[in-house]
Amino acid sequence: MRALIWKFLVRDWRGGELSILLMALVLAVSVVVGISGFVSRLQGALLSESARFLAADAVIVSRTEVPEEWIEEAASVGLQVSASLGFPSMAVADIERMALVSVKAVSAGYPLKGNLQWSVDPYGTVQSDGAIPVPGEVWLAPRLFALLEVASGETITVGERPLVIAGAVRGEPDATTAVFGFGPRLLMHVDDIPSTGVVQPGSRVEYRLLLGGSADALEIFLEWLKPKLGQGQRVDSVATSQPRIGDTLDRAQGFLLLAGSLAVVLATAAILLASRRFGERHTQYVAILKSLGAQSYEISRLYGSCLFVIGTVSTLLGCILGWAIQGGFIWALGSLLPATPGPAGWEPVVMGVVTALVCLFFFAWPPLSRLADASPLHVLRAEVDVARMQRVQDLLLGGAAIIGLMWWYSGSLTVTFSVLAGLLLVTVLGVIVGRTLLAGGHSIGGFAGSIWRVALSGLQRRRRSNSLQMVIFGVAIMLMLMLTVVRSSLISQWQAQLPPDVPNHFLLNLAPEEREQLQDFFTQRAVQTERLYPMTRGRIMEVNGAALPRWEEAESETAPRQREANFTWSDVQPAGNELIAGEWWPQDAVEPWVSVEEEFARDIGASLGDQLTVRIGADSFTVTVRNIRRVDWQSMRPNFFMVFPRSVLAAYPGMYMTSFLLTPDRKNLLNDLVRELPTVTIIELDMVIAETRAVVDQVARALELVLAVILLAGALVLVAGVQSSLDGRLKEAALLRALGARRELLLGTLWIEFLVLGGLAGGLAGVGAEAATYALQTRVFDMVWTPTPLMWWLGPVIGAAVIGCLGVWSCRHVVRTPPVVLLREV
Amino acid sequence: MIKVSQLLKTVPTADGDLDILRGINLEIAEGTSAAIVGASGSGKSTLLGLLAGMDVASGGEITLDGHRLSQLDEDQRARLRAEKIGFVFQSFQLLPALTARENVMLPLELSGKKQADDIADRLLEQVGLSDRLDHYPTTLSGGEQQRVAIARAFARQPKILFADEPTGNLDTRTGERVIDLLFQLNASEGTTLVLVTHDDRLARRCDVRFGMDAGELCILNA
């Protein structure tokens, strides 16, 4: 038997039968290994990219010095550590020239992730050589050179310590997370801190212990650390310290995992088609073997062994090819990748092997195992029914296995079920369309010309296989449409959050009498600015007469409590704020009303119509909640928890704030501004925004790459799908040619059949993609769903065009080859 | 060798059950040749399928070389086919992925025979195809394909050979050559030959002729 199996394999391979199944399996495994390997390396790259924002993998932030024991423990589990601290202070050049600065003192090893960029002169050549200021020296933000009127080599004093200016800080990896006060940066060595004498018990200092190392070591250490964290101590990750970047990376990761899951579905579709074709082509083969006396168990053993060999060979080839694919991607796209890709690990290979096993066991084996039941009578009468190739229970079991694979791969049931919803819709609609439209094709065709009649009756006759093919085409097109839409909406949402003109500086503490001066300053220099918002500090004391507990007295972290906040007044609804309850007040309203931000309302336990007792300074008054607002805190505009009508706050003194846009080349304007208005505070967010924008751009590029890979895989499934239906069509076309059908008739019928199939599949795909996109956008990506009418017509058009061209191209030799040759071949 | 009594075959159709064979009785002695003739749709091929154990009767009994087919399951009938039966089909039924030699070797390999290739070569030489050993079926003419099929049918030296319209797809001259070959081999191997045909000349070369009409069988000569 073993010898026979090998002979069978060799002969079948030579006959081209096995190669179809083998190719599908290799395709499936290589697509899964390739995409998951690429995705996992990309994820690694994004993860290390995100670590850059902390200058570490994690950071312990503390208001007091980090205990020596923690540092020793971190080192003992194999983590790299680097201590830094920061505080606002004055840098003094001489009695005339001094400035409020944000001091950051770093130690050897800083940064653990990312690069510190510096230059000798304020705007000189940037270096990134791993250097940090040595003890006795400082590096200053370029703007400080102008503000203090100093140059490299001169000396400034911090506290009691004179320090030599050795360079300019040009880029800090953790600029967005390590913010100490509002002044420009002064970077120095941590060893110089004691001699400055500025850090005393009770000083406003933030200590940061940077941790770097493997995820496992980090987990062990943080587990050890957690119970030891006291008040004012926390552990920062990118997600907690940089919600916008964390959110971007989260969504990107969600997208990548979704893409990987889709690769599994596409691969399965390819196998399903190939094994069906293999089974169909082998029915006659088995009938002959049985007429020659082969028994069922021999047939089962024969095909089982063949499948085992094919499975092993194709898994091996698929893994190698998949590995090469992801390596090729990384090699070809190296310069476009967001960061140095990490290792892919073994998971992609395991994923590929498991996918192969599931595909073989649930999709390839059932039709082959059923071959053993093929009646030998088939050799006498071809019309004798053979066992159905694919049974509903096989498909259900296989479906369950695929759901399992997708779940495993995406790590999210919501992703899995969102995609599944689309798949189910396509399948159900596909079956209905198959039963009705395709079945009715004959009668429609009866009224049409001869080409249409032949084509539509062909569709009707093969309606069972056509339905399956339509569903698989539909699924492939749906997945491609869906991924394109999700990617486009993710990217456009990211870009919308950070438009090019988003303000990148905040200005606070502007006295009412300075307003005009500021307006003039900005107007003269053509700086684009937001409106001025009045700002008064106040506290919410009571809700409906019930006193709120103080922060530290609240029963739990979520219980209502007193809150202090900046209040503003406005006659109009602030731009970018959405009313979720109540309504805005009319212009010049004098009633004691207030508009409360959604989460703030939740914190103090207030809802629409409640009476709030507010205290500003020594005064208390009561206002009614007129509306509740939702605020986009990432909008980079001044936003407020509490907004009152102008008349309510008019009596209370307050300062003003605004935000404005300053391009990097105009940063020195800030020096003029603080000289002209010395009491204002400026928060510089330009670096944060630039870094965030860079991440968004890189992530968007990564998504484009993955989308391209999936589109390629989808196209391969479409090719496999067209191939799988060729036998029947070729036979029929050969007969028609033998009966004298003209080339035009054959070509015409082929075009019509494939265009109709593709168009219908594309239509199904549009519907399924819309459903899946709705689920994904609302449940997975936390986005607002908007229908994509483009998909509704793009689906059928793409489907018809791609399937039409592929189909006719695959059958092209039917119209070129003499009928007698064709008839022999089929 | 073959004994059939009260054989019935009924198939369900949209208009109710259709009787294809209505109580067939026949006996064919060992080493003889028998022809079943009749018009298309008379039930000839159904009878042949049942005789070869490829289909299950609705009633009655077939005894083949002492084996009662109704008592055998599909696999036991397959074993019986492997051991005692050869088959020649109207449409040749060669495996397109296999060469002429490999097609003939197939039944030998299935039963684990050694030197299958030698036997195949000898048989193909006997049917005059020694120069076509490595040709694939699509490159052979109809007559050549049928000769390969005959070589395959005799490969395991069957006790009974069933032939379903063996000349149905061939022109008269080629058909005659194929028939000559079939009877020659039949004589030399001592096989019992049962063939279904509507070719009267072919039928007349057989020892016994049965006529089939609307599912009923009658002896035309004895």
- Indicate the number of domains in chain B: 1
Tell me the pLDDT tens digit for each residue of A459-477.
777 777 778 788 888 888 8
Question: Which residues on A lie below 8 Å from B102 (Cβ)?
Answer: 7, 11
CB–CB contact B110 A293 (8 Å)? yes
Phi, psi for residue B66 in degrees, rounded to 5? 90, -5
pLDDT for A17 beyond 80: no
Residue of A nearest to B89 (CA): A380
Residue A340: is its pLDDT beyond 70? no
Q: Which residues of A touch B112 (CB under 8 A)?
A: 1
Whether omega for the bond prior to residue A162 falls within 30 degrees of 0, making it cis, is: no
What is the ipTM for the molecules in this complex? 0.86
pTM to 2 decimals? 0.65
- Say yes or no to pLDDT of A118 above 80: yes
pLDDT above 90 for A628: yes
Cis peptide before A549 (omega within 30 of 0): no
Q: Contacts of residue B75 in chain A, CB cutoff 8 Å?
A: 295-297
Q: Terminal CA-to-CA distance of chain B, rounded, Å?
A: 16
pLDDT band at A244; cut points 50, 70, 90: low
Minimum CA–CA partner of A3 in chain B? B109
In the predicted model, what is the mean pLDDT of residues A571-581?
Answer: 86
Indicate the average pLDDT of chain B: 87
**Angle at the Cα of A155 from the Cα atoms of A149 and A156, rounded to 5 degrees:** 70
> Residue A43: is its pLDDT beyond 80?
no
Q: Note down the domain range covering B79.
A: 2-221
A283 CA: distance to closest CA in chain B (Å): 11
Please answer whether residues A508 and A657 qualify as being in contact, where contact means their C-beta atoms are separated by less than 8 angstroms. yes
Instruction: Note whether B54 contacts A297, CB cutoff 8 Å.
Output: no
The predicted structure's pLDDT at residue B198: 81
Say if the Cβ atoms of B82 and A292 lie within 8 Å: yes
Q: At A326, is the pLDDT very low, low, confident or very high (cuts 50, 70, 90)?
A: confident
Please give the average per-residue pLDDT across A12-36, as a whole number: 76
> Cα angle at A154 between A149 and A157, to 5 degrees?
85
Task: Calculate mean pLDDT across residues A564-589.
Answer: 86
Domain harbouring B7, CATH code: 3.40.50.300
List, as ranges, residues 289-348 from A with C-beta within 8 Å of B: 289-298
Is the per-residue pLDDT at B147 higher than 70? yes
Please name the amino acid found at residue A546: A
Give residue A242's pLDDT band: very low, low, confident or very high (50, 70, 90).
Answer: low
The 8-class DSSP code of residue A127 comes to: B
Lookup result for tokens 């030799």: A813
Is pLDDT larger for residue A341 or for residue A352? Answer: A352
Query: pLDDT tens digits, residue range A392-430?
Result: 777 788 788 888 888 877 777 888 888 888 888 888 888
Q: Coil, helix or strand for A684? A: strand
Neighbours of A681 (CB within 10 A): 16
Read off the pLDDT of residues B44-54 as tens digits, 9 standing for 90 and up. Answer: 888 988 998 88
pLDDT at A388 over 60: no
Instruction: Residue A19: list chain B partners with CB under 8 A.
Output: none
Q: What residues in A contact B48, CB-CB < 8 Å?
A: 380
| Other beta carbons within 10 Å of A295 | 21
Question: In angstroms, what separates the C-alpha of A723 from chain B's closest C-alpha?
Answer: 19
Q: How many CB pairs under 8 A join A and B?
A: 82
Tell me if chain B has a CB within 8 Å of the CB of A15: yes
Note the pLDDT of residue B90: 82
- A3 contacts B79? CB cut-off 8 A: no
- Return d(Cα A805, Cα A715) in angstroms, integer: 12
Residues of B in Cβ contact (< 8 Å) with A284: 93
Q: Do B54 and A294 touch (CB under 8 A)?
A: no
Residues 6+ apart with CB under 8 A from A746: A733, A736, A737, A814, A815
Q: Between A738 and A189, where is the model more confident?
A: A189
pLDDT the model gives residue A193: 92
Tens-digit pLDDT profile for residues B55-70: 889 999 999 988 999 8
| pLDDT (0 to 100) of residue A383 | 52
pLDDT score, position A5: 76
Residue A390 clears pLDDT 60, i.e. is over it: no
pLDDT digit string, tens, across residues B167-206: 877 777 878 888 888 888 788 888 899 989 888 888 888 9
How far from the centroid of its chain's Cα atoms is residue B17's Cα? 28
Confidence label for A646 from pLDDT (cuts 50, 70 and 90): confident
Beta-carbon separation of A295 and B138 below 8 A:
no
Q: Which residue of A has its CA nearest to B136?
A: A15
pLDDT per position as a tens digit, B151-167: 898 888 889 999 988 88
Mean pLDDT across chain A, nearest whole number?
81
pLDDT for A334 equals 62
pLDDT surpasses 90 at A611: yes
- Range from A262-266, A376-380, B21-25, B98-102 carrying the lowest mean pLDDT: A376-380
> Hey, is A120 helix, strand or coil?
coil
- Span A141-158, pLDDT tens digits: 888 888 888 999 999 999
Average pLDDT over residues A516-533: 88
**A174-178, A792-796, B151-155: range with lowest mean pLDDT:** A174-178
Which chain B residue has its CA at the smallest distance from A288's CA? Answer: B93
| A347 HSE (CA, 13 A, CB side) | 16
Q: What is the pLDDT of residue A384?
A: 47
**By CA distance, what is A4's nearest residue in B?**
B109
What tokens does A751 get?
């075009």
Closest chain A CA to residue B162: A291
Question: Distance (Å, rounded) from C-alpha B98 to C-alpha A13?
Answer: 11
Residue A55 binned pLDDT confidence (cut-offs 50, 70, 90): confident
Which residue has tokens 């179809």?
A20
Over residues A548-566, the mean pLDDT reads: 74
Structure-token pair, residue A736: 């028609």
A381 touches chain B (CB under 8 A): yes
pLDDT band at residue B104 using 50, 70 and 90 as cut-offs: very high
- B194 within 8 A of B51, measured Cβ to Cβ: yes
Length of chain A: 826
Stretch A679-696: mean pLDDT: 75
User: Before A574, cis peptide (omega within 30)?
Assistant: no
User: What single-letter amino acid sits at B200?
Assistant: D
Mean pLDDT of A580-596: 89
* pLDDT tens readout for residues A281-296: 788 788 888 888 888 8
* Terminal alpha carbon distance of chain A: 30
Residue A431 C-alpha, separation from nearest chain B C-alpha, in angstroms: 25
Distance CA A270, CA A27 (A): 8
Q: Is residue B90 a contact partner of residue B166, using CB atoms and an 8 Å limit?
A: yes
Which residues in chain A are contacts of B82 at CB distance < 8 A? 292-295
Distance in Å, alpha carbon of B139 to nearest chain A alpha carbon: 8
